[in-house]
Amino acid sequence: MWGGRFESAPAAIMEEINASIDFDKTLWRQDIRGSRAHLAMLAARGIVTEADAGAIMAGLGKVEAEIERGDFTFTRALEDIHMNVESRLAEIVGPAAGRLHTARSRNDQVATDMRLWVRDTVDDLSAQILDLQTALAEKALAFAGTVMPGFTHLQSAQPVTFGHHLLAYVEMLGRDRGRFADARKRMNECPLGAAALAGTSFPIDRFATAAALGFDRPTANSLDSVSDRDFALESLAAAAICAMHLSRFAEEIVIWTTPQFAFVKLSDAFTTGSSIMPQKRNPDAAELVRAKAGRIIGALTGLLVVMKGLPLAYAKDMQEDKEGTFDALRSLSLCIAATAGMVRDMRPDAKVMKKAAGAGYATATDLADWLVRTLKMPFREAHHVTGRIVGLASDRNVGLERLTLAEMQGVEPRITDEIFAVLGVDKSVRSRTSYGGTAPANVRAQARRALAALKKAAAKTASA
């Protein structure tokens, strides 16, 4: 491509470190799409004749069909997707193919291809997140009144409902979708036409190419256009946070499916066995979702480190944006799909969870609240009295509700047998009616609201 100034071919090791075709062939659709838009603009502006444009357009169609069919030979000697496509185009069209590269450079080309790929992928991820939220909200509605222990420090804290717990993830994923949507808005500007770094002397129409590729507008500064990878970084940041959320949920699935907890069963479809221990049912999918957060966070860190300290404008360093970005966003897609599968598949064991909800004096706060409400005790004092009652129950090795009235009155004489009404886990969750609280009626209403909003959002993306 630059034979004019060069007398000998690159060293083999140079080719190996320099070539990106092994991974940037992923961008072939985006590359051809960008070329079509650029070519149509060049023809419309009279920079390329209609005859040449027609021939090149037909040639691009042939290249596309060859790649689609798997009939295309990608060559390392041609470095990257841009030159692989262009070289084949020249074979098909002849010298006129060389006119396509007028008023553009691989620098603005690759920036455009990457934006298109990331944008497509972010759209797919957003739709997947929506589906996962729907699966969670449906499960939440079905188990809005199923009591389980709520934890802080992974110690039984207060009873909550399983539906309430699942809706927490619907919230997290809603913020994830928001972050992707936000990144998409900023990324949706077209770098094509910035050329190598300084713009071009040809009378191009960057607004036309931007519109043809579905961008809101062209990027405003040619140096920034070819040196910016914020769109990838922001998407990776959104992906990293989302992966972190999924990894927390995955860890909970791992805990819940242990025989010791046995809160939840996964079907065979999302479980593996052991080749040596016949009794085992391993939650491998959950473990892998938990782990994949590592490579996704790694891709974000990796690209930040590549970009830091880079002088303007383009530098070959930036070719290192690709593998991490491709891998991270694909991994996230896999994680979301696997998590949605597990959510739809999981069967909570209401009996086991309810029993666990009552263990560990999880209704101690309800007892303290009763002392505040009924005996008008200051909460700090109620906390102290409750602590002594819990100590008593613990010494006797029984639950709070198994203490006798006389035993409780030994600690606080004004206690009446009304107290027993608040010590059950069902009563406890039913009383938590504050906005955002775990009362089953709240959870049901929240789940319904979420499902309606998700349905609306899905209809909007489907029509877009």
Asked if 106 is part of the footprint of ligand ARG (rule: CB under 6 A), the reply reads yes
- Residue choice 141, 241, 318, 368 for contact with ligand ARG (CB under 6 A): 318
Q: Closest approach of Cβ 329 to ligand ARG, in Å?
A: 17
**97: preceding bond cis by omega (within 30 degrees):** no
- Which one from 164, 267, 274, 434 is the annotated catalytic residue? 274
- Residue choice 103, 110, 240, 400 for contact with ligand ARG (CB under 6 A): 110
Asked if 222 is part of the footprint of ligand ARG (rule: CB under 6 A), the reply reads no
Between 110 and 346, CB nearer to ligand ARG: 110
State how far the alpha carbon of 93 is from the alpha carbons of 1, 58, 59, 456, in Å: 16, 8, 6, 48
384 is catalytic: no
Give how far the C-alpha of residue 226 lies from the chain's centroid of Cα atoms, to the nearest Å. Answer: 27
The interface region with ligand ARG, picked from 84-92, 103-111, 128-136, 328-336 by CB under 6 A, is 103-111
The interface region with ligand ARG, picked from 176-184, 279-287, 310-318, 447-455 by CB under 6 A, is 310-318
Task: Tell me, by CB under 6 A, how many residues bind ligand ARG.
Answer: 10
Degrees (nearest 5) of the Cα angle 275, 341, 299?
85
Between 24 and 252, CB nearer to ligand ARG: 24
Q: Closest approach of Cβ 324 to ligand ARG, in Å?
A: 13
Q: Closest approach of Cβ 303 to ligand ARG, in Å?
A: 13
Which run of H or of E encompasses 347? strand 347-348
Q: Closest approach of Cβ 230 to ligand ARG, in Å?
A: 16
Categorise residue 328: left if φ over 0, alpha if ψ from -120 to 50, beta otherwise.
alpha
Q: Closest approach of Cβ 356 to ligand ARG, in Å?
A: 53
Query: x-or-dash pattern for ligand ARG, window 228-267, by CB under 6 A?
Result: ----------------------------------------
Asked if 112 is part of the footprint of ligand ARG (rule: CB under 6 A), the reply reads no
Q: Closest approach of Cβ 203 to ligand ARG, in Å?
A: 24
The interface region with ligand ARG, picked from 172-180, 258-266, 302-310, 312-320 by CB under 6 A, is 312-320
Q: Closest approach of Cβ 209 to ligand ARG, in Å?
A: 18
DSSP per-residue letters across 242-311: HHHHHHHHHHHHHHHTSTTT--EE--GGG-B--SS-TT--B-HHHHHHHHHHHHHHHHHHHHHHHHTTPP
Closest residue by Cα to residue 118 from 274, 216, 229, 227: 229
Q: Report the C-alpha gap between 258 and 281 in whole angstroms.
A: 9
Asked if 107 is part of the footprint of ligand ARG (rule: CB under 6 A), the reply reads yes
Asked if 432 is part of the footprint of ligand ARG (rule: CB under 6 A), the reply reads no
- Which one from 153, 201, 434, 463 is the annotated catalytic residue? 153
Q: Which of residues 28-87 bind ligand ARG (CB under 6 A)?
A: 80
Asked if 99 is part of the footprint of ligand ARG (rule: CB under 6 A), the reply reads no
Asked if 93 is part of the footprint of ligand ARG (rule: CB under 6 A), the reply reads no
Closest residue by Cα to residue 67 from 83, 88, 53: 88
Task: Return the biggest CA–CA distance within the chain.
Answer: 101
Between 320 and 369, CB nearer to ligand ARG: 320
Between 27 and 367, CB nearer to ligand ARG: 27
274 is catalytic: yes
Tokens standing for 325?
Answer: 């970005």
Tokens standing for 230?
Answer: 């914020």
Closest residue by Cα to residue 135 from 341, 438, 440: 341
- Residue choice 126, 225, 319, 438 for contact with ligand ARG (CB under 6 A): 319
Q: Which 3 state secondary structure label does DSSP give 86? A: helix
Residue 216 near residue 281 (C-beta atoms within 8 A):
no
Between 81 and 367, CB nearer to ligand ARG: 81
Tokens standing for 403?
Answer: 């203490």
Q: Closest approach of Cβ 229 to ligand ARG, in Å?
A: 10
Which run of H or of E encompasses 150? strand 147-152
Asked if 20 is part of the footprint of ligand ARG (rule: CB under 6 A), the reply reads yes
Q: Report the C-alpha gap between 416 and 374 in whole angstroms.
A: 10
What's the chain's length in residues?
464
Tokens standing for 439?
Answer: 């009362």
Q: Closest approach of Cβ 43 to ligand ARG, in Å?
A: 25
DSSP per-residue letters across 23-42: HHGGGHHHHHHHHHHHHHHH
Residue 389 near residue 411 (C-beta atoms within 8 A):
yes
Between 148 and 318, CB nearer to ligand ARG: 318
Number of H helices, E strands in the chain: 18, 6
Residue 78 near residue 84 (C-beta atoms within 8 A):
yes
Query: x-or-dash pattern for ligand ARG, window 174-213, by CB under 6 A?
Result: ----------------------------------------
Q: Which residues are catalytic?
A: 153, 274
Positions in the binding site for ligand ARG (CB under 6 A): 20, 24, 80, 106-107, 110, 314, 316, 318-319
